[in-house]
Chain A
Amino acid sequence: MTGEKENPTVATVQTVHETELVKSAQNGDRSAFGELVREHAQGVLNVVHRMCGDAQLAEDAAQETFIRAWQNLSSYRPQTSLRNWLYRIAVNAATDMLRKEKRILPDDIDDLHLPDGRPGVESLVSQQERITIVQKAILALPEASRAVLVLREYEGFSYQEISSTLDVPVGTVMSRLNYARKLLKEKLQPQLSLLEAEHV
Chain B
Amino acid sequence: MSDHVTEWLNAYLDGELSGRRLHQVEEHLAECETCQSELESLQGLSALLQEVPAAESISPERFAAQVNLRLPHRPVKRTRNRIIEVGWWMVPVGLLAVWIFISTAILVSDMVSAANNIGLLDNGTALLISGTAENAGWTAALGQFGILQGNSLHWAEFTESFSRNVLPQFAWQVSIALLYLAWIAIWWARRTRQGHGQLLEG
Q: What is A's interface to B at a CB cutoff of 8 Å?
A: 25-26, 28, 30, 33-34, 37-39, 41-42, 45-46, 48-50, 55, 58-59, 62-63, 66-68, 70-77, 80, 85, 88-89, 92-93, 96, 127, 130-131, 134-135, 138, 152-154, 158-159, 167, 174, 177-178, 181, 184-185, 188, 191-192, 195-196
A178 in contact with B10 (CB, 8 Å): yes
Q: Which of B55, B58, B196 lies at the interface centre, i.e. has the most chain A CB atoms within 10 A of its CB? A: B55
**Which residue of the partner chain, among A45, A89, A93, A192, contacts B44 with CB atoms under 8 Å?**
A192
A192 in contact with B68 (CB, 8 Å): no
Digitize B11-23: 1 where CB-to-A-CB distance is under 8 Å, 0 elsewhere. Answer: 1001010000000
| Chain A residues within an 8 Å CB radius of B197 | 167
In the complex the two chains form, what is the Cα distance from A161 to B89 in whole Å?
35
Of chain A, the residue at the smallest CB distance from B56 is: A55
Interface status of B191 (Cβ within 8 A of chain A)? no
| Chain B residues within an 8 Å CB radius of A138 | 49, 52
B67 in contact with A67 (CB, 8 Å): yes
In the complex the two chains form, what is the Cα distance from A50 to B55 in whole Å?
8
Supply 26 A–B pairs (Cβ within 8 Å), ascending by A: A28-B75, A39-B60, A49-B55, A50-B52, A62-B63, A63-B63, A67-B70, A67-B72, A72-B200, A74-B78, A77-B198, A96-B202, A134-B49, A134-B52, A154-B49, A167-B196, A167-B197, A174-B10, A181-B10, A181-B42, A184-B45, A185-B42, A188-B45, A192-B44, A192-B45, A195-B44
In the complex the two chains form, what is the Cα distance from A95 to B92 in whole Å?
41
B78 in contact with A73 (CB, 8 Å): yes
- Per DSSP, chain A at the interface is helix
**Which residue of the partner chain, among B16, B47, B71, B198, contacts A70 with CB atoms under 8 Å?**
B71
**Which residue of the partner chain, among A34, A72, A80, A178, contacts B68 with CB atoms under 8 Å?**
A34
**Which residue of the partner chain, among A50, A159, A185, contacts B14 with CB atoms under 8 Å?**
A159
Digitize B52-79: 1 where CB-to-A-CB distance is under 8 Å, 0 elsewhere. Answer: 1111111011011011101110111110
In the complex the two chains form, what is the Cα distance from A131 to B60 in whole Å?
27
| Chain A residues within an 8 Å CB radius of B16 | 158-159, 174
B residues 32-51 in Cβ contact with A at 8 Å = 41-42, 44-51
Beyond contacts A42-B58, A159-B16, A184-B45: 19 other A-B pairs, Cβ-Cβ < 8 A, are: A38-B61, A48-B55, A58-B55, A59-B63, A68-B200, A71-B77, A74-B77, A80-B198, A88-B199, A89-B202, A92-B201, A93-B202, A134-B52, A174-B10, A177-B14, A181-B10, A181-B42, A185-B45, A191-B48
| Chain A residues within an 8 Å CB radius of B45 | 181, 184-185, 188, 192
| Chain B residues within an 8 Å CB radius of A191 | 48
Q: Total interface residues on B, using CB and 8 Å?
A: 45
Given A158-B16, A185-B41, A30-B54 contact (CB < 8 Å): no
In the complex the two chains form, what is the Cα distance from A28 to B82 in whole Å?
14
CB-CB nearest 7 A-B residue pairs: A49-B55, A38-B60, A92-B202, A167-B197, A74-B78, A37-B64, A41-B63
| Chain B residues within an 8 Å CB radius of A30 | 68, 71
**Which residue of the partner chain, among A63, A76, A88, contacts B67 with CB atoms under 8 Å?**
A63
